């Protein structure tokens, strides 16, 4: 299979080069091969082929090892965002029914309390499986890796939210990972001398980029968590050439005093994804970071990166006011702008972005109805609106009309609204985005009280804290007599969005009551 072939090849060709690195340790290709082999054999002994393995951990290089060991042993990796609340985590685990969890200390503590019946493996001890084998002299480092499963069987289930706010498990196979890796490597033309820093969470789609760099024999560096100071230190210390970030991270880097004294002479390419990069921010970043900027569009259902605007591309004026250029399809990816009837839209005409190619997801986990709604005759309906300009470049007009992009993470209004409606104080609710200078956008909640005087902002915030991850919580609650709706009953979000922006203009740019973790994703 693809990932085990990568390990075989690079262990022979680059035995002593550094494959993985974080703040704790670094691992050569020879050591990585041994650690993955031992971990995979442990998984194969512990659970049946085809089982789901939950990965609940903050960033560390062993998360990459967990993905690779799952691939070698024929089990399905299910990365989980450690910031999820107890109900959110329970919903995911109940859906995939994992046979085992690989977790860090914080994750194991949570699972012991919230899911005591789930067997866990300490992610910090992954390297000890190889050490135990070596001590027992039962296997040699060059012994073959397990090779269970096939290229087209499920490799991972990565959760994203549908517009209803209910989590959906996106099932991808190694064929998708392989195509995206080859496509990416052709795009950026990196090799074994490249040092790549993934500044985004590894439970998210950014792991696809990370695996692509490993395919080239490059060195993959991992941050425990993003802080601007920590990221700058890593870029300098590790002589990073390529880095993956989201626009809110770039803004924070540019506002950090340490930037002026940080040596970024090795940095060559800044890849940004998950949200459009404002033109003024892109210009500042190119000058301050001294590197080329590459915009990437991708969604989890599409297997990861699908469209790219390279540093040398020079798009003309936006064909639609406010649109962001996302370039051209990457190799192996097809893209079209479709009208409502599925026909091809003309240049400058807004339609839905459809993606095609072997990198698409297999399905939504155990949800054939939702799968059928987005996969049609080899095409993925992204639900994103876009258009082509006269030169053929693709521009993104809106990211799923109702979607809020906060610090690179998708926030769906329907999910927040459902939580707010749990309160007996709330008769109706609507959530829309407002601008945030730090995170790009933030959720703003309109609430229709169930009775006069029933509105209690502190109680609503407490409810959100209990039920929603921090990046999903509204920055403000405003009581209204009624929620504006159309005759068909649909929330008039455009009207509410204008009201929210007017109400929040004096405070939104400086109010950040919670700190989300930015990612590259859907």
In Å, how far from its chain's centre is CA 49?
Answer: 27
Q: Are 55 and 118 in contact (CB under 8 A)?
A: no
What pLDDT does residue 322 have? 67
Q: Where are the strands (E) in 76-218, listed by range? A: 76-80, 100-103, 120-122, 154-161, 167-173, 195-198
Report residues of the chain scoring pLDDT below 50.
141, 162-164, 487-488, 507-522
Ordered DSSP codes for 317-349: S-SSTT-EEEEEEPTT-EEEEE-TTSPBPPTT-
Surface-to-core class of residue 279, CB atoms within 10 Å of its CB (0-12 exposed, 13-18 middle, 19+ buried): exposed
Surface-to-core class of residue 267, CB atoms within 10 Å of its CB (0-12 exposed, 13-18 middle, 19+ buried): buried
Say which CATH class 1-10+25-141 falls into.
alpha beta
Give the count of alpha carbons within 13 A of 154, CB side only: 21
What pLDDT does residue 514 have? 38
CA distance 354 to 261: 44
What pLDDT does residue 522 have? 31
What pLDDT does residue 205 have? 87
For residue 136 the two structure tokens come to: 């027992």
Torsion of CA 92, 97, 98, 99, to 10 degrees: 160
Distances in whole angstroms, Cα of residue 136 to Cα of each of 33, 131, 141, 342 = 18, 9, 13, 61
Nearest to 471 by CA among 421, 400, 425, 415: 415
Q: DSSP label at 363? A: E
For the chain, which residues make up each domain, given as ranges?
1-10+25-141, 404-510
For residue 453 the two structure tokens come to: 């005087």
CA angle 366, 51, 303 (to 5 degrees): 55
Q: Are 334 and 355 in contact (CB under 8 A)?
A: yes
What pLDDT does residue 411 have? 82
Surface-to-core class of residue 91, CB atoms within 10 Å of its CB (0-12 exposed, 13-18 middle, 19+ buried): middle
User: 404-510: which CATH architecture?
Assistant: 2-Layer Sandwich (3.30)
Per 3-state DSSP, what percentage of the chain is helix, strand, and coil (rounded to 5)? 35, 25, 40
């Amino acid at each position: 299979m693809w990932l085990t072939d990568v390990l075989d090849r690079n262990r022979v060709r680059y035995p002593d080069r550094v494959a993985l690195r974080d703040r704790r340790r670094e691992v050569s290709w020879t050591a990585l091969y041994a650690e993955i082999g031992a971990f995979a054999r442990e998984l194969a002994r512990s659970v049946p082929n085809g089982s789901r393995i939950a990965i609940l951990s903050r960033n560390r290089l062993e998360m990459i090892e967990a993905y690779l060991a799952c691939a070698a042993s024929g089990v399905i990796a299910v990365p989980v965002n450690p910031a999820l609340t107890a109900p959110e985590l329970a919903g995911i685990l109940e859906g995939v029914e994992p046979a085992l969890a690989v977790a860090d200390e914080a994750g194991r503590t949570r699972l012991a309390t919230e899911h005591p019946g789930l067997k866990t493996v300490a992610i910090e001890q992954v390297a000890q499986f190889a050490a135990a084998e070596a001590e027992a002299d039962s296997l040699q480092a060059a012994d073959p890796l397990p090779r269970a499963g096939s290229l087209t069987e499920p490799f991972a289930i990565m959760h994203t939210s549908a517009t209803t706010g209910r989590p959906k498990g996106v099932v991808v196979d190694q064929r998708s990972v392989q195509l995206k890796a080859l496509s990416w490597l052709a795009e950026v033309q990196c090799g074994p001398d490249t040092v790549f820093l993934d500044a985004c969470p590894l439970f998210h789609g950014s792991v696809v980029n990370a695996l692509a760099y490993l395919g080239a024999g490059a060195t993959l560096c991992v941050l425990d968590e993003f802080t601007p100071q920590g990221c700058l230190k890593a870029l300098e210390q590790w002589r990073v050439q390529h880095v993956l970030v989201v626009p809110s991270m770039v803004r924070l880097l540019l506002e950090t005093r340490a930037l002026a004294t940080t040596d970024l002479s090795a940095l060559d390419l800044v890849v940004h994804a998950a949200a459009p990069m404002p033109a003024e921010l892109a210009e500042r970043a190119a000058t301050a970071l001294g590197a080329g900027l590459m915009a990437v569009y991708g969604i989890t259902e599409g297997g990861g990166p699908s469209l790219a605007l390279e540093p040398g591309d020079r798009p003309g004026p936006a064909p639609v006011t406010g649109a962001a250029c996302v370039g051209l399809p990457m190799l192996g990816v097809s893209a079209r702008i479709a009208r409502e009837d599925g026909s091809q839209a003309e240049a400058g005409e807004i339609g839905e972005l459809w993606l095609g190619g072997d990198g698409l997801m297999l399905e939504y986990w155990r949800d054939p109805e939702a799968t059928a709604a987005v996969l049609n005759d080899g095409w993925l309906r992204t639900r994103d609106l876009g258009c082509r300009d006269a030169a053929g470049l693709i521009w993104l007009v809106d990211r799923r009309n109702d979607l809020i992009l906060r610090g690179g993470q998708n926030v769906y209004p329907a999910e927040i609204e459902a939580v707010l409606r749990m309160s007996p104080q709330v008769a109706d609710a609507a959530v829309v985005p407002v601008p945030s200078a730090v995170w790009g956008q933030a959720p703003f909640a309109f609430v229709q009280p169930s009775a006069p005087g029933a509105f209690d902002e502190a109680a609503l915030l407490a409810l959100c804290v209990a039920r929603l991850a921090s990046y999903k919580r509204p920055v403000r609650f405003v009581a209204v007599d009624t929620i504006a709706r159309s005759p068909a009953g649909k929330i008039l979000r455009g009207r509410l969005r204008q009201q929210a922006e007017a109400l929040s203009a004096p405070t939104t740019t400086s109010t950040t009551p919670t700190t989300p973790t930015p990612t590259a994703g859907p």
